[in-house]
């Protein structure tokens, strides 16, 4: 059965577009109204709309905005046009628009609900000015002046009233009409100009004289006024939204009779979308019309976007824009189901024969269709649900309705030509009708493939860039392989159509093949081959690019970008670096793993042994560390010599290098290269590129690359599950659910062989364990025996190095044991072994050259063993334990020197040394107190000092070996000292030292006396003392020294008494002389007298307590000084008193007659000069010895004395001669 024989109505009949209402003739309008399908969805929308509209007829309302939204092809523009017919109740061929929707019974009539019909009747019986327009087509001033939306409304409003679209001309016409002069003006103009005004007014600038003459002729303006009006035509026309609303309200009031006006605006969403100024203007227009006209003026608009999307403006302005939602309270949404139903009923409805044939034929093809057309990752693409559904949509497939609508919507968004589509020049209905027409002569086994819609789309695309791409491909002989073979071009058309709807259908080979199916009997396998071959050709020609399993149509810009990307060079290691990062960083985490020691038991061993390994991809080192013992190398196809070659992989693997064969395919490697090239392009290209739509192309490339990246990771994860591991010339049997676990299992096997001595460790020792061991006071007795094998191994290593004369430090040990093959120990494993050896006396430790032993400060020892910085400064040596001879020597010295038999510790030489040093330090302390610090010349003082030095030298030895060596070298000296020490110790501990000190004091009194005054007896005693104290070992004569001390004390006491009596008499004489001098003065002063007595009495008391002759002499000298000091003081005092007396003032009356104390002045009379007393001592007069031999000598001496006195005497002084 031919397809064109199946349809209820002629498929070739003419169906006009949507918005050309003013151009439609009655026949076209009749067809539109007659064939308009009111779907279930539209039933509800008619009810909602007319229920809201009724409120402005029977009352007042400010909610007079209607927002009609729906995707492309949903029928919103057609719905708006039908509303215009209904609201103006257009009559066609004697039948009103309302009758098309209300006549007939419930089964036949379009509107089912009686209440909706009643509301519609109320509306059509209300006088209404209906203005239907596409806002985009009505603005004339260019896209740059879109902000004047009110001008568009004013233009269509004026036009609906028969006025000019020029607002200034329309204002003149409105004034003339209001004043009843408009018809007169039109007649006058026609008489003046010869043509009708309405036909010529659009060129008003060129008909100035006829217009002026006509205005003057009808008496409306003077000639000057008319010319002035013309001059104002050149100025900008400005009208506010409020003024426009008032103009509309004036019109409605002038009409009366509940006059309404309805602005039906198509595609307002596209016009104002993204423009905040236009959005606010629309809101204000609706608001002002609502406030002024109260439901008599309505605004009904259509938009592909919901009102929330059009007015979705962020920031502080959001509150203002939210008001528009309130203005369009009535919102109608047309869905895809509405479009499907309309197309099926209006275009695809079948006649009875066709319906029955198709329903009967469907079971023959149902299984084939359902098994043949299976879309990947596209659950929304529906197939036939039943035989009836098959008959209803044939020759199309159900998924094509929604898919094509989305295709047209997205192409509209991505192409400037989308404005043509939004104007309704093409409709979804037209696409299905035209495609059905092109298949009209085909038989009933034909299905419409998606590419067959392209001719209808091409008319709309016109000369767009994408259309040119396809046209150029049609002229490419490498693509069009024969005159009638356009299959490759058809595949390209499909890819173009689905380019922007990847959210609806993924452009995979299978899905593209499904879209190309053209028959219910299609050979899917053969078709798939043809599609696959076509894709290869299109990719080669750079018209299509492959992204994983998706194929993407390329615009001119994208073709250029693809060429640039393909020309990007990658370095030799880019792919390996990417693989290494994906495997190690993303899948494994880090190049480190935890080894499970064979003896590891319990949680304490968890994460104890963490080994690093070098990580390579082929020969590219991604992560290297200082541990060369473990290496993992991923082998890819770039390592072609051994990749996938089990024999070679086995032979190439070693004990320290594991090879991991990665079974990837060439396509996977190409995907990585593609990703890297695109990534480099994205990060280096910039907007200054000459490529059009660069940002959009870059964004698409970024998105595709993210998808490719995800796929690479997923594929790699699967490849890694199949990876094979080769180690030590063997293929490993590994277990694990993913690569990370499998690699860990392989590394465990590898570590077990590489670090085979790690199993020496049988206990997880902590730092706290080591510190506790070192703090243990039981030197040499270590009860804990954990890790004995480690201790033994470390001891053997130290011995081996010493045998080679190699210095061993803690760094040497760490470098050999910690983390290194074959041990892989942690620091605590080694440190425990060193601490054990140290505590057991098997090793010596030197810190900065200073020996530490078990008696050393625990903190110092702990630092030496545990601190890991500067461990090269910690030297470790094995040591020999003391032999019996050495122990006997120490034991003997201890007995001789310290009278101790418990110094030697049989188990620990360090303890022996420590015990000896303790005793030595104790003896040093005692001997130091005996040292001659006061120069008393104690007997054998030098031997004492030498003994202290020797003992100190021994105590300063820090290592036990040196200690024993030093004792051996100094053994004789120590024993000699032990012999002498008894007498010396007894001397210092007994009263011998006291006797000695007393004798030294007595000798010092005589020999160090300044006056050198003594007696013969005292000199004899001192001589005897000095003889005894001069002996080397005077210990036996100390009793004799004591006797001499007693004699000295008796004799010295007698000597002191005689000296004291003489001195006492001298002090008394001096005291009396001073008192006599004071009494001879011209003044008396009891205070001075008491001071004199007090001073000389003190000196007498001092004399009583004197112990030495020098003290007595000193006291006598002080008495003489006091005598002179007092006499000088008296003289000074006397002189001061004389001066004061001489200065006494006498008050004399100013006129010389008597005394008037009230009028007197102080007058100082001239006195005779005051004579000052001057003390002259004889020693100052006689400065050298004078020898008298004759009377003449006496005369000479007296004469010289006189001369000296006269030289001192003058009129102003008096001389006191003193001895």
Tell if the pTM clears 0.75, that is, is over it.
no
Pair of tokens at residue 285? 């227009």
The mean pLDDT of 512-529, rounded to a whole number, is: 96
Q: What's the average model confidence in pLDDT over 302-313? A: 70
| Confidence bin at 676 (pLDDT 50/70/90) | very high
Measured in degrees and rounded to the nearest 5, phi and psi for residue 646 equal -60, -40
Say if residues 227 and 246 touch (Cβ distance below 8 Å): no
Does domain 61-160+238-318+328-334 match CATH 3.40.50? yes
Peptide bond preceding 395: is omega within 30 degrees of 0, i.e. cis? yes
Residues 272 and 265 sit within 8 Å (Cβ to Cβ): no
**Angle at which helices 1016-1029 and 992-1007 cross, to 10°:** 130
**Long-range CB pairs of 371-379, under 8 A, 24+ apart, other chains included:** 372/514, 372/517, 372/522, 372/524, 373/397, 373/514, 373/517, 374/510, 374/514, 375/399, 375/505, 375/510, 375/511, 375/514, 376/506, 376/508, 376/510, 376/511, 377/506, 377/508, 378/504, 378/505, 378/506, 378/511
Predicted pLDDT of residue 607? 84
Give yes or no for a contact between 878 and 842, defined as CB atoms under 8 angstroms apart: yes
The 10s digit of each residue's pLDDT in 254-307 is 999 899 999 999 988 888 876 788 888 999 999 999 999 999 999 999 988 777
The residue that leads in pLDDT, 561 or 853, is 561
pLDDT score, position 141? 53
- Three-state DSSP state, 406: helix
Per-residue confidence band for 1148, with pLDDT thresholds at 50, 70 and 90: very low
Residue with tokens 């603005």: 139
Which pLDDT tens digit goes with each residue over 1014-1042?
788 888 888 888 888 888 889 888 899 88
Q: Is the pLDDT of residue 960 over 90?
A: no
Q: Quote the pLDDT of residue 533.
A: 97
Round to whole Å and give the CA distance between 105 and 94: 20
For CA atoms 650, 652, 655, 661, the dihedral sign is negative
Round to whole Å and give the CA distance between 188 and 936.
Answer: 156
**Percentage of the chain lying above the pLDDT 90 cut:** 50
CA 307, 310, 316, 320 torsion-angle sign: negative
Residues 6+ apart with CB under 8 A from 300: 65, 66, 68, 80, 83, 262, 263, 264, 265
> Residue range 1153-1159: average pLDDT?
46
Residue 1146 pLDDT grade (very low, low, confident, very high; cuts 50, 70, 90)? very low
Confidence of residue 1147 (pLDDT cuts 50, 70, 90): very low
Q: Judge whether residue 130 has pLDDT over 60.
A: yes
Place of tokens 């093409």: 426
Cα distances from 339 to residues 20, 71, 335, 422, 707, in angstroms, run: 20, 10, 7, 16, 34
Calculate mean pLDDT across residues 1086-1113.
Answer: 85
723 touches 738 (CB < 8 A) = no
Q: Which of 259-268, 334-343, 455-464, 764-773 has the lowest mean pLDDT?
A: 455-464
Sign, CA dihedral 593-596-597-602, equals positive
d(CA 576, CA 28): 69
Q: What local confidence, expressed as pLDDT, does residue 690 receive?
A: 67
For residue 282, what are its two tokens? 């629309």
Contact 492, 466 (CB under 8 A): no
Using CA atoms, how far apart are residues 965 and 62, in angstroms rounded to an integer?
Answer: 117
Percent of the chain clearing pLDDT 70 (strictly above) = 92
Q: Is 450 exposed, middle or buried (0-12, 13-18, 19+ CB in 10 A)?
A: buried
Dist. CA 897–CA 947, nearest whole Å: 11
DSSP 585: I
pLDDT at 811 over 80: yes
Segment 207-217, tens digit of pLDDT: 999 999 999 99
pLDDT digits (tens, 9 = 90+) for 411-426: 877 764 444 444 434 4
DSSP string, 1098-1154: HHHHHHHH--SHHHHHHHHHHHHHHHHHHHHHHHHHHHHHHHHHHT--EEEETTSSS
At 19 the pLDDT is 44
| 321-325, 457-461, 581-585, 700-704: segment of lowest average pLDDT | 321-325
What's the whole-number mean pLDDT along residues 31-45? 92
Residue 876 φ/ψ, nearest 5 degrees: -125, 130
Helices (H), 686-787: 694-721, 739-754, 767-775
pLDDT score of 144: 42
- In this predicted structure, the answer to whether residue 1153 has a pLDDT above a threshold of 50 is no
The answer to whether the 61-160+238-318+328-334 and 996-1139 domains have the same CATH topology is no
Range in 17-26, 260-269, 861-870 with the lowest mean pLDDT: 17-26
pLDDT 10s digits, 198-237? 999 999 989 999 999 999 999 999 999 999 998 888 888 8
Q: How far apart are CA 248 and CA 263, in angstroms?
A: 11
Q: Is the dihedral of CA 775, 776, 779, 784 positive or negative?
A: negative
> How many CA atoms are closer than 13 Å to the CA of 365, on its beta-carbon side?
24
pLDDT digits (tens, 9 = 90+) for 153-175: 999 999 999 999 999 999 999 99
Cα gap 671→546, rounded to integer Å: 10
Q: Parallel, antiparallel, or unpaired: how do β-strands 609-612 and 592-595 relate?
A: antiparallel
Which positions ≥6 away from 54 have C-beta within 8 Å? 119, 122, 123
**CA separation, residue 767 to residues 735, 788, 789, 792, 863 (Å):** 35, 17, 19, 20, 11
8 Å CB contact between 207 and 200:
yes
C-alpha distances in Å from residue 959, one per residue of 880, 891, 966: 12, 19, 11
Asked if omega into 706 is within 30° of 0 (cis), the reply is no
Average pLDDT of the chain, as a whole number: 87
User: For residue 724, what is the enclosing H or E element?
Assistant: strand 724-727
Residue 365: pLDDT over 70 = yes
CATH of 996-1139, one of 1.10.3470, 1.10.10, 1.20.120, 3.30.200: 1.20.120
Considering only 35-39, 742-746, 1142-1146, which range has the smallest mean pLDDT? 1142-1146
Token pair 């104690």 is at which residue? 938
Q: What is the pLDDT of residue 1157?
A: 44
- 897: DSSP letter: I
Domain boundaries, the chain: 4-32+337-463+484-535, 61-160+238-318+328-334, 574-752, 762-878, 884-906+918-989, 996-1139, 1171-1219
State the DSSP H helix or E strand holding residue 926, giving kind and residue range, or none if neither: helix 909-930
For residue range 897-934, what is the model confidence (pLDDT) as tens digits?
888 888 998 878 888 888 999 999 998 888 888 887 66
Answer yes or no: is pLDDT of 7 > 50.
yes
pLDDT of residue 325: 72
- Phi then psi dihedrals of residue 278, to 5 deg: -65, -35
pLDDT of the residue at 18: 53
- Number of other residues whose CB lies within 10 A of the CB of residue 32: 21
CB distance 365 to 520 below 8 Å: yes
Higher pLDDT, 616 or 841: 616
Q: What is the pLDDT of residues 965-989, one digit of tens each?
A: 999 999 998 988 888 888 888 888 8
Indicate whether 946 pLDDT > 70. Answer: yes
Count of beta carbons in the 10 Å neighbourhood of residue 6: 23
Q: What is the pLDDT of residue 979?
A: 85
Helix axes 971-989, 884-893, angle to 10 degrees: 20
Contact between residue 519 and residue 445 where contact means Cβ atoms under 8 Å apart: yes
The pLDDT value recorded for residue 1164 is 45
Task: Identify the pLDDT of residue 569.
Answer: 92
pLDDT in tens, 1127-1139: 888 888 888 888 8
């Amino acid at each position: 059965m031919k397809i064109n024989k199946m349809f209820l109505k002629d498929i070739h009949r003419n169906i006009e577009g949507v918005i050309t209402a003013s151009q439609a003739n009655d026949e076209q309008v009749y067809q539109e109204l007659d064939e308009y399908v009111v779907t279930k969805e539209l039933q509800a929308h008619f009810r909602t709309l007319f229920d809201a509209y009724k409120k402005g007829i029977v009352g007042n309302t400010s909610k007079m905005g209607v927002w009609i939204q729906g995707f492309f092809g949903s029928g919103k523009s057609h719905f708006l046009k039908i509303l215009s017919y209904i609201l103006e109740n257009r009559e066609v061929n004697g039948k009103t628009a309302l009758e098309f929707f209300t006549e007939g019974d419930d089964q036949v009539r379009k509107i089912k609900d009686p209440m909706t019909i009643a509301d519609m009747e109320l509306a059509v019986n209300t006088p209404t000015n209906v203005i239907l327009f596409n806002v985009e087509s009505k603005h004339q001033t260019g896209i740059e002046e879109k902000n004047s939306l009110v001008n568009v409304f004013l233009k269509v409003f004026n036009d609906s009233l028969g006025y000019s679209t020029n607002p200034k001309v329309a204002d003149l016409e409105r004034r003339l009409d209001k004043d009843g002069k408009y018809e007169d003006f039109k007649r006058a103009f026609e008489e003046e100009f010869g043509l009708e005004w309405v036909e010529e007014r659009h060129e008003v600038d060129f008909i100035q004289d006829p217009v002026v003459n006509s205005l003057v002729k009808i008496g409306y303006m003077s000639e000057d006024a008319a010319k002035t009006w013309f001059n104002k035509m050149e100025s900008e026309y400005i009208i506010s939204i409020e003024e426009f609303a008032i103009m509309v309200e004036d019109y409605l009031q002038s009409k009366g009779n509940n006059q309404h006006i309805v602005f039906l605006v198509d595609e307002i969403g596209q016009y104002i979308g993204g423009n905040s100024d236009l959005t606010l203007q629309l809101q204000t227009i609706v608001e002002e019309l609502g406030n002024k006209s109260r439901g008599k003026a309505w605004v009904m608009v259509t938009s592909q976007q919901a009102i929330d999307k059009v007015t979705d403006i962020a920031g502080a302005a959001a509150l203002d824009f939210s008001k528009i939602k309130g203005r369009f309270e009535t919102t109608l949404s047309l869905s895809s189901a509405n479009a499907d139903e309309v197309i099926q009923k209006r275009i695809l409805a079948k006649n009875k024969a066709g319906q029955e044939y198709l329903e009967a034929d469907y079971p023959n093809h149902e299984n084939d269709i359902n098994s043949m057309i299976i879309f990947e990752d596209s659950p929304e693409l529906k197939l036939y649900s039943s035989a009836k559904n098959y008959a209803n949509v044939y020759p199309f497939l159900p998924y094509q309705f929604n898919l094509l609508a989305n295709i047209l919507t997205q192409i509209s968004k991505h192409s400037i030509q989308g404005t043509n589509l939004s104007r309704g020049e093409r409709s979804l209905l037209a696409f299905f009708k035209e495609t059905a027409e092109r298949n009209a002569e085909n038989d009933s086994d034909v299905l419409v493939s998606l590419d067959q819609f392209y001719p209808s789309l091409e008319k709309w695309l016109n000369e767009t860039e994408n259309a040119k791409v396809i046209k150029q491909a049609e002229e490419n002989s490498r693509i069009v392989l024969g005159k009638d073979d356009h299959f490759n071009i058809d595949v390209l058309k499909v890819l173009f159509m689905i380019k922007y709807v990847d959210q609806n259908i993924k452009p995979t080979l299978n899905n593209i093949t499904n879209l190309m199916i053209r028959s219910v009997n299609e050979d899917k396998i053969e078709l798939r081959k043809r599609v696959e071959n076509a894709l290869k050709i299109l990719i080669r020609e750079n018209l299509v690019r492959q992204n994983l399993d998706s194929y993407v149509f390329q615009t001119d810009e994208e073709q250029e970008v693809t060429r640039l990307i393909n020309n990007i060079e990658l370095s030799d290691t880019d792919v390996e670096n990417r693989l290494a990062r994906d495997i190690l960083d993303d899948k494994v985490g880090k190049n480190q793993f935890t080894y499970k020691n064979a003896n590891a038991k319990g949680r304490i061993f968890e994460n104890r042994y963490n080994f690093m390994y070098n990580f390579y991809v082929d020969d590219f080192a991604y992560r290297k560390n200082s541990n060369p013992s473990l290496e993992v190398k991923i082998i890819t196809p770039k390592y072609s010599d051994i990749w996938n070659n089990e024999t070679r992989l086995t032979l190439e693997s070693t004990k320290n290098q594991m090879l991991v064969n990665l079974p990837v395919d060439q396509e996977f490697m190409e995907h990585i290269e593609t990703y890297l090239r695109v990534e480099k392009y994205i990060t280096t290209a910039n907007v200054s590129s000459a490529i059009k739509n660069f940002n959009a192309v870059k964004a698409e490339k970024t998105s595709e690359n993210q998808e490719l990246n995800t796929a690479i990771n997923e594929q790699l994860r699967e490849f890694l599950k199949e990876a094979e591991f080769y180690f030590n010339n063997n293929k490993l049997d590994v277990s694990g659910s993913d690569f990370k676990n499998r690699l860990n299992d392989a590394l465990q096997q590898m570590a077990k062989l590489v670090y085979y001595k790690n199993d020496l460790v049988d206990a997880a020792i902590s730092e706290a364990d080591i510190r506790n061991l070192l703090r243990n006071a039981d030197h040499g007795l270590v009860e804990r025996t954990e890790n004995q094998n480690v201790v033994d191994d470390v001891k053997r290593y130290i011995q081996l190095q010493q045998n080679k004369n190699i210095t061993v430090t803690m760094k040497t040990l760490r470098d050999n044991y910690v983390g290194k093959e074959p041990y892989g120990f942690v620091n605590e494993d080694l440190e425990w072994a060193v601490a054990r050896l140290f505590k057991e006396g098997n090793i010596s430790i030197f810190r900065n050259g200073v020996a530490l032993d078990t008696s050393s400060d625990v903190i110092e020892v702990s630092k030496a063993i545990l601190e890991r910085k500067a461990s090269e400064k910690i030297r470790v040596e094995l040591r020999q334990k003391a032999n019996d001879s050495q122990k006997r020597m120490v034991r003997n010295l201890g007995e001789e020197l310290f009278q101790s038999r418990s110094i030697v510790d049989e188990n620990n030489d360090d303890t022996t040394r420590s015990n000896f040093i303790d005793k030595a330090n104790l003896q040093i302390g005692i001997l130091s107190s005996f040292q001659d610090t006061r120069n008393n010349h104690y007997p054998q003082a030098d031997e004492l000092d030498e003994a202290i030095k020797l003992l100190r030298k021994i105590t300063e030895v820090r290592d036990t070996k040196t200690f024993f060596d030093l004792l051996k070298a100094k053994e004789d000296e120590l024993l000699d000292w032990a012999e002498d020490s008894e007498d010396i110790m007894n001397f210092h501990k007994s009263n011998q030292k006291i006797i000695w000190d007393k004798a030294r004091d007595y000798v010092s009194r005589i020999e160090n006396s300044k006056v050198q005054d003594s007696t013969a007896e005292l000199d004899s005693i001192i001589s005897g003392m000095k003889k005894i104290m001069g002996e080397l070992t005077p210990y036996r004569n100390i009793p004799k020294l004591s006797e001499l001390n007693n004699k000295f004390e008796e004799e010295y006491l007698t000597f002191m008494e005689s000296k004291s009596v003489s001195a006492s008499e001298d002090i008394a004489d001096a005291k009396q002389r001073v008192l006599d001098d004071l009494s001879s003065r011209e003044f008396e002063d009891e205070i001075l007298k008491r001071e004199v007595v007090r001073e000389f009495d003190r000196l007498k008391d001092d004399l009583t307590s004197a112990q030495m002759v020098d003290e007595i002499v000193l006291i006598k000298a002080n008495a003489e000084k006091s005598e002179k000091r007092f006499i000088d003081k008296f003289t000074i005092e006397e002189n001061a008193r004389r001066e004061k007396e001489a200065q006494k003032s006498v008050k004399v009356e100013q006129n010389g007659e008597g005394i008037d104390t009230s009028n007197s002045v102080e007058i100082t009379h001239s006195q005779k000069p005051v004579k000052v007393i001057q003390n002259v001592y004889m020693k100052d007069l006689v400065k050298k010895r004078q020898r008298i031999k004759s009377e003449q000598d006496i005369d000479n001496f007296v004469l010289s004395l006189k001369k000296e006195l006269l030289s001192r005497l003058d009129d102003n002084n008096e001389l006191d001669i003193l001895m």
